[in-house]
Structure 1
Amino acid sequence: MRPRKIHRLVGILLLLPFVAWSTTAIFFLVRPAYTDAYEQLQVQQLPMGNIIQFVPDPSWLEARFSRTVLGEHLLVRDAQGWQHLDAFALDPKPAPSGEELRLLINDAIAHNRERYGTVDSLSGMTAVTDTGVEISVNWESLTMSQHGPNTRWIDKVYDIHYLRWTGFENFDRIFGLFGLFLLIYMTYSGARMALGRR
């Protein structure tokens, strides 16, 4: 088969991936709703109402005090990770009840009701709001993460752009490398033809 025909065939094979690459690249320039989609939710902090004194455990690498709508919290980090302690008894602080968790999350999302709405349902330490945003709470570190409809849509754009089309990681990696190899070949063969070389 002649190089020109091979070049044309490879170009046809790359047509769909190339369209996918170029159209999704537009998104990376515009980035609509990107800020809201990947916002790092913060537990709302209140001024400390009490002076807390204690003798720190030698195994602690870090200690943080905070006060939220649920009261005082002591977060400590050791070699195993974060622990959430009662600020006065220094015992592990029990996970919040459903109503307490709802109160904590609604307080954290009050700054953007248009996106988050209010908590609609709870399952363990995860809530779903009436706008379809899923919010997870890590009680040990007192942190939150959120994942909404636009987050899922943007994640899908990333998958299309990076040729993660099947959901099978190894296959998608080979598929992506094969596509890059064909693209390099297209560039090489096209340059040779442009220069009048066989």
Structure 2
Amino acid sequence: MKSRKLHKLIGLILVLPMLGWTFTGLVFFIKPGYQGAYEQLSVKTYPLSGPITIIPQDNWQEVRVVKTVLGEHLIVKANNKSQHLDPTTLLAMPEPTTLQLETLINDAFTDNQARYGDIISTDGFTAKTNTGVEVVLNWSSLRLSQQGQDTQLINLLYQVHYLQWTPFKELNQVVGIFGLILLISLTVLGVRIYLKQRV
């Protein structure tokens, strides 16, 4: 197959990937809506009621005492795993009730009520709001994570940009490598056609 015909064929194959790369690259450059989509939602903390004496255990690597709307919490890291303990008894802190979970998460919403709105349902440590945001509580580390429809959309754009078009990781890697090979081939053929015309 002649260089010009092969160049044209590869160009046609790359039409959709190139459009995807261009559009998503523009989004990644401008980053519209990124601030809300990837906002770090944190449990709201308050000053401790008074001094707390904690005798650390030998296997504790980190110790953190915080006070939330639910009371005081002792978060320790032992054997590279977070543990949520009662600072008085040093026993594992009981998992929150649904009401306690909603109270803790709603308290975290106060700094950005427009994004998070109100909780409409809970399932385990996950809460969904009327603004389409899903919030997950990691009780062991007392940390929150959130994602909304905007987060899902941006994650989808990343998948489009990096040719992750299938549910299979290995196949996506093959598609990505194949796309890069086609792109390099298109460039090489373009240079070859240009040099032939110059000659």
TM-score of the two chains, using structure 2 as the length reference: 0.96
Structure-2 residue corresponding to 1:9: 9
Amino acid paired to 1:196 = K
Once the two structures are superposed, residues 115-162 of structure 1 have per-residue CA deviations (whole angstroms, 9 ceiling, x without a partner) of: 100111110000001111000000010000001010001111111111
Distance (whole Å) between structure 1 residues aligned to residue 86 and residue 53 of structure 2 = 13
Amino acid paired to 1:155 = N
**Percent of aligned pairs with the same amino acid:** 44
What is the RMSD of the two structures over their aligned residues, measured on CA atoms? 1.2
Is 1:135 aligned to residue 135 of structure 2? yes
- 1:80, CA displacement in angstroms? 4.2
Distance (whole Å) between structure 2 residues aligned to residue 54 and residue 24 of structure 1 = 51
Is 1:186 aligned to residue 182 of structure 2? no
Which segments of 5 or more consecutive residues in structure 2 lack a partner in the other structure? Answer: none
Structure-2 residue corresponding to 1:75: 75
Residue 73 of structure 1: SS of its match in structure 2?
strand
Amino acid paired to 1:46 = Y
Structure-2 residue corresponding to 1:162: 162
Residue 196 of structure 1: SS of its match in structure 2?
helix
Amino acid paired to 1:12 = L
Amino acid paired to 2:37 = A
> How do 1:1-198 residues align onto structure 2 when only pairs under 5 Å count?
1-196=1-196
Please identify, of 160-169 and 144-153, the stretch whose mean Cα deviation from structure 2 is larger: 160-169
Residue 60 of structure 2: SS of its match in structure 1?
coil
- 1:165, CA displacement in angstroms? 1.1
Distance (whole Å) between structure 2 residues aligned to residue 52 and residue 175 of structure 1 = 57
TM-score of the two chains, using structure 1 as the length reference: 0.97
Amino acid paired to 2:138 = N
Distance (whole Å) between structure 2 residues aligned to residue 54 and residue 18 of structure 1 = 59
Amino acid paired to 2:107 = D
Distance (whole Å) between structure 2 residues aligned to residue 80 and residue 27 of structure 1 = 37
Distance (whole Å) between structure 1 residues aligned to residue 172 and residue 182 of structure 2 = 15
- 1:50, CA displacement in angstroms? 2.3
Amino acid paired to 1:83 = Q
Once the two structures are superposed, residues 155-195 of structure 1 have per-residue CA deviations (whole angstroms, 9 ceiling, x without a partner) of: 11111111111222111110111010010011011111111
The count of aligned residue pairs is 198
Q: Which stretches of structure 1, 4 residues or longer, exceed 3 Å deviation after superposition?
A: none
Amino acid paired to 2:146 = Q
